[in-house]
A and B are shown apart, each in its own frame.
Chain A
Amino acid sequence: MLVNFDQIIEALIETVQMVGFSLLFSAILGLPLGILLVVTRKGHLLENLPVFNVINGIINIFRSVPFIILMVAIIPITRFIVGTSIGTAAAVVPLVFYAGPYIARLIENSLLEVDPGVLEAAQAMGATPAQVIFRFLIPEALSSLVLAFTIATIGLVGASAMAGAVGGGGLGDLAITYGYQRFDTMVMLITVGILVVMVQGLQTFGNLFSKRIRRR
């Protein structure tokens, strides 16, 4: 084997960092966008079709660019934000551009599942739009939102491995440089094995957490 145990651990930590930070920033970006996508649509709480159409369009544009292209295309932006286009921190930028719009869509879907009758009851009580969103819409969708974030996190694990290909570091980097380019099957098996365990763990945790919230 061409790598030692410490390198694997280091790569694992890098992956966790990449996924963690990009999840955090994409959630900060995606959550308000997802909420706006729901409440500005026709017939909803804060109907505003221009806002809806613009957000909707921009999200579709980002969602249609393949991640590997997106990564290269936004290098100037990455440089501007992080100062470099190589390394774990630099990988977070394209990951956020990739996962933010994705999370916005997932959140939109979850929020749309909330019974419109509940929102009507909220409005009948004289709730302000902010109260409707934070006291009714989000709590009612919470369990479904947890599942949405689980899907997004797993998506990020996969994407972060791809980011490794352009020097992002992490398990993907290890798998490509040693497992693929130097034909080290053992490294390939170990990295893929770790990724499988990670995804299984995340999905199981997400399911349990969501179920706990749903309380059935």
Chain B
Amino acid sequence: MIEFQQLKKVYNSGGQEVAALNGIDLLIKKGEIFGVIGFSGAGKSSLIRCVNWLEQPTSGKVIIDGKDLTALTSAQIREVKKNIGMVFQHFNLLNSKTVFANVAMPLLLSKVPKEEIKKQVTELLEFVGLSDKANYYPDQLSGGQKQRVGIARALATNPSILLCDEATSALDPQTTSSILELLRKINQEYAITILIITHEMAVIREICDRVAVIEAGKIIEEGTVFNVFSSPKTDTARNFVSSVMNDQIPDSIKEIIEKNDGLQKVFRIQFIGQTAGQPLLSQVAKKFDIHINVLFGNITELQGTPFGNLIVEFQGADREINRALMYINQEKVSIKEVKAHAS
């Protein structure tokens, strides 16, 4: 469990005070995969680095499994750190050491006996799928393989928390999904709490349970991935969501709507979960005297729940259209009119 209470971090750059974190309150539950997303400079990096004391907050508290880090001595904090693994964007492996020695390093620091180290490192390398690369050097590996070494190293001390600092941002999309899959496997098999910070919404969608959006050092939105993706409340969140959800109306269709401004009735319908399985549109078309023209649509799966997005045009008398709208609203499906110059 990780808890931030009124966390503030102020930097002094050239006589000017810059607040990287401006009062963060956040609770990350044991065993969950929690994502923090934000643009660069939003403060997400400072936030994750406060968890393992790579940065010390100016004020506020960081509580790890019930221990308030601000109240500990540096020796005690080093012990807490051994319970927190960290994976970095640029891997940060020792280039002068083999894969085996890199993974063994945290154990060596804890003075674990040689035999035990050999056994554990062999197991870890097997877990991340790099058994055959034990005697390679990092510069002989691909980016994805290096990150697997980084993950194995982070897991060496058998931590209860894993921090991922943009862990997939330097990798190509295919490698990213294989690394995310590995992270999910770690979360499930070892019940490790994972905190991920990223600027890639796809990463959040792929594996996170809950997400927080950070902007200007503040958490501006927080919730389950499903809630934030299906109904983002802030512009920044909407921006991130649309970067992966593809729910923007394509320009060609926007043009049509603009051309016939006011003449057409265009709506955006959002289906969530079970409602996505109902033949709603065909029911509406049968019940009411209107024609339905689908302009654009897609269905995405979010945490195992289907989430659909349709842009439709209703053709018919205003009275019939209004009745149809009322009917759709009763079905607990969100419907909103789309006007020209808006999306």
Contact = CB atoms under 8 A, between A and B. Distances in A.
A125 B92 contact: no
B60 interface: no
A135 B105 contact: yes
Contact of A140 (B81, B96, B139, B153): B96
B78 interface: yes
Contact of B92 (A121, A215, A216): A121
Contacts, number: 61
B96 to A, nearest CB: 5
B40 interface: no
Interface string B287-305: 0000000000000000000
Contacts of B93: 118, 121
Contacts of B52: 124
A136 B78 contact: no
A13 to B, nearest CB: 36
Given A121-B86, A124-B81, A140 B95 contact: yes
A150 interface: no
A126 interface: yes
Interface residues of A, number: 22
Interface in A139-195: 139-140, 142-143
A136 B94 contact: yes
Contacts of A142: 96
Given A135-B105, A135-B109, A123 B95 contact: no
B54 interface: yes
Nearest to B90: A117
A124 B86 contact: yes
Interface string A123-137: 111111001000110
Nearest to B51: A124
B108 interface: yes
B82 interface: yes
B88 interface: yes
Contacts of A115: 92, 95
B78 A139 contact: no
Contacts of B92: 115, 117-118, 120-121
B109 A126 contact: yes
B106 interface: yes
B327 interface: no
A142 B97 CA distance: 11
A213 B96 contact: yes
Interface string B226-257: 00000000000000000000000000000000
Interface in B79-132: 79-82, 84, 86, 88, 90-97, 105-106, 108-109
Given A140-B95, A142-B96, A143-B96, A126 B90 contact: no
B160 to A, nearest CB: 14
Contact of A126 (B81, B94, B95, B153): B81
Contacts of B80: 126
Nearest to B98: A215
Nearest to A116: B92
B39 interface: no
A216 B139 contact: yes
Contacts of A139: 94, 96-97
Given A118-B92, A120-B88, A128 B78 contact: yes
Given A125-B81, A125-B106, A135-B105, A118 B94 contact: yes
B267 interface: no
Given A117-B88, A135-B105, A135-B108, A124 B54 contact: yes
Contacts of B153: 121
Most chain A CB inside 10 Å of its own CB: which residue of B105, B153, B163:
B105
A118 B88 CA distance: 10
A131 B105 CA distance: 10
A126 B78 CA distance: 4
Contacts of B86: 121, 124
Most chain A CB inside 10 Å of its own CB: which residue of B82, B92, B105:
B92
A127 B96 contact: no
A121 B84 CA distance: 12
A84 to B, nearest CB: 44
A145 to B, nearest CB: 11
A9 to B, nearest CB: 40
A143 B96 CA distance: 9
Most chain B CB inside 10 Å of its own CB: which residue of A124, A128, A131, A139:
A124
Contacts of A125: 81-82, 105-106, 109, 157
9 contacts: A117-B88, A117-B91, A118-B92, A118-B94, A120-B88, A121-B88, A121-B153, A127-B109, A215-B96
Q: Which 5 interchain pairs have the tightest Cβ spacing? A: A126-B81, A117-B92, A121-B92, A126-B78, A124-B86
